[in-house]
Chain A
Amino acid sequence: MTSFLLKRLLALVPVLLGASFIVFSIMHLTPGDPAVLLLPQDASAEDIAVMRESLGLNRPFLVQYGSFLQGILRGDLGTSFRSGQPVAGLIMSRLPATMQLAAASLIVAIIIGLVAGIVAAVRQYTLWDGGAMVTALLGVSMPNFWLGLMLILFFSVFWAGRFGSVLLPASGYGTIQHMIMPAIVLGTAHAAFVTRITRSSMLEVLRQDYIRMARAKGLSPFRVVAIHALRNALLPVVTIVGLRFGVLLGGSVVTERIFAWPGIGRLLIDAVRAQDYAVVQGIILTYAIIFSLVTLGVDLIYGLVDPRIRSQYR
């Protein structure tokens, strides 16, 4: 297992190096001179030239990229053009909120998706099945930012109008109540995907001989489904959750904006609007690292569960 982990970690290095190069190149293309952004509006051409020199912007592109890489290895992602604060510090102060939201929405997605998928598979071609599949299709087709606004409209605006106080706060951070709506918004589309994949995976497993055998032995239907079938149907679910984690991270940008959630997604959009490219660059790279680590985690789970995959790396 250790060699499997090491090989997977090594495979991650070129991908992250490439991602850092792409992010750096894209940000290098952005219009506007960081030296001008940092100086007061009435700065002279000489001041701008001195600032460019001090920021190292006159150096060749690849030399600048090399410095950027060295900085990353030291945990230094540069300095915010706007606030003058270290980018790494800004990101670290906001990262816990984003991770909390991502974890909460994953829990929502997995619980709703697994339950709906299992019920749909066990009660195939019934109203339960049809209802779960139609709901899942709507969940996949619904823009999460619209769902967010509709939840605010119902639980905050309409509720306050009818009962005098909001049922759930429309914005903010710090309590479970603050987390419920953002987690539902971010988790809904994923719940829909988990429902669909759980249903198809369970249907395949439920037709296997060992399930028939378990039933023939007289095991309770709950035990057959929850212990024998579900465990074997979970691998595709783990895959889809891992693959779609990138979409979830992307969705968190919009969700954090709607609910004024103080995560790195909101920081990203604030930085884009303020043309604070050092922060934008650092955040995008952080997202790439998180996503790559989650993908690695999914691979490890796969390796733990399925010995055939582990053996490929021996």
Chain B
Amino acid sequence: MSITENKTAAKIIRRRTRFEETWRQFRKNQGAIVGTTLLVFLATLALAAPLAAPEGLDDQHLGRRFQPPSRENILGTDNLGRDILSRIIHGSRLSLSIGFITTSIGLVAGGSLGAIAGYYGGHRDQVIMRFMDIILAIPGFIFAVALVTALGPNLLNLMIAVGLNSIPYFARIIRSSVLSVKEEEYIQAARVIGCSNGWIIARHVIPNAFAPILVQATLRIGDTIIIAAGLSFLGLGAQPPLPEWGAMLSAGRQYLRDAWWMATFPGIAIMITVLAFNLVGDGLRDALDPRLKS
């Protein structure tokens, strides 16, 4: 076997072993398996929403307003006679998209800043991290309220606001992860053979700091879903007739005395989704944490 083949084989074995070990640990965690199952179910529901939902997201039937849960409408109907189950199913697309998009904004922007701060150190580190400290001095939800106020209350601006709000969390985590790997020998070796700093960060540093990033991103998706729903609840996010779960809850609040189901079920949907992300995040953390492995 040639040297190249040997290297390739070793690489495959090493990667498979790491993945298999993580998966083995993850599988042992019952909560993580429940969370994964829930997430797969929710993702399937969101993808197949037009097929899975009994009705459209804004199909109004004024003759059947405020119907309690029944065989025809399992979760009841709202003030415009719309089927709540259908709206929750359609809304799963929105809530999951908000979670993923806002977390991605935070991950990419915060991750880049954190990687630059951690890798280069010095003044760049000082400027970036002091700026992050300043943003963190404003409570996250309040910061998001300020941004939505400035940008205008709609779904896109809500995602931008919540995404920007996530930047400092990822910047801090990725900076500390980068600090822990940047002095490793393989990074020095990459420098010696003339790799550019950008290449080293993208190809070597970030993949090796991947574990805490993955855990934090999973947990953060749940947080962002709650923050976004909270903003929509206050009328600062998704606007009618969008079936965003927070906005549905807000609409249900007005009819709490006469139609309890309008506010109850969208809240349960938020809780189950966030719970699923938290279970998976906890499971990943346990599986990827070497201290727990030993």
Contact = CB atoms under 8 A, between A and B. Distances in A.
Does more than half of chain A's interface fall in helix, strand or loop, or is it mixed?
Answer: helix
A144 B149 CA distance: 22
Contact of A247 (B141, B252, B270, B282): B141
Contacts of A23: 138, 146
Interface string B1-19: 0000000000000000000
A15 B134 contact: yes
Interface size class of A (residues with CB under 8 A): 35 or more
Nearest to B225: A143
A173 B234 CA distance: 20
Contacts of A295: 137
A164 to B, nearest CB: 15
B146 A27 contact: yes
A280 B139 contact: no
Contacts of B240: none
Interface string B215-256: 000000010001001100111100000000010010011001
Interface string B127-149: 00011011111111111011101
A18 B149 CA distance: 20
A142 B270 CA distance: 8
Contact of A249 (B135, B142, B226, B268): B142
Nearest to A154: B260
Contact of B249 (A137, A145, A288): A145
A266 to B, nearest CB: 10
Given A29-B150, A253-B142, A149 B267 contact: yes
Contacts of B278: 137, 140-141
B256 A250 contact: no
Interface in A181-230: none
Contacts of B200: none
Contact of B139 (A142, A143, A246): A246
Contacts of B229: 143, 145
Contact of B271 (A15, A138, A247, A268): A138
Interface residues of B, number: 48
Contact of B146 (A140, A254, A273, A280): A280
B271 A143 contact: yes
Contacts of B226: 143
Interface of A: 14-16, 18-19, 22-23, 26-27, 29-31, 137-138, 140-146, 149-150, 152-153, 157, 246-247, 249-251, 253-254, 257-258, 268-269, 272-273, 277, 280, 284, 287-288, 291-292, 295
Interface of B: 31, 130-131, 133-143, 145-147, 149-152, 222, 226, 229-230, 233-236, 246, 249, 252-253, 256-257, 260, 263-264, 266-268, 270-271, 274-275, 278-279, 282
Given A26-B146, A142-B271, A145-B230, 18 more contacts: A16-B137, A19-B137, A22-B138, A142-B274, A143-B226, A143-B274, A146-B266, A157-B257, A157-B260, A249-B141, A269-B234, A272-B236, A280-B146, A280-B149, A287-B138, A287-B142, A291-B139, A292-B137
29 contacts: A15-B137, A16-B137, A18-B130, A22-B135, A22-B138, A27-B149, A29-B150, A30-B149, A138-B271, A141-B275, A142-B271, A142-B274, A143-B267, A145-B233, A145-B267, A149-B252, A150-B263, A153-B263, A246-B136, A247-B141, A249-B142, A253-B145, A254-B230, A254-B234, A257-B234, A268-B142, A272-B236, A284-B142, A288-B137
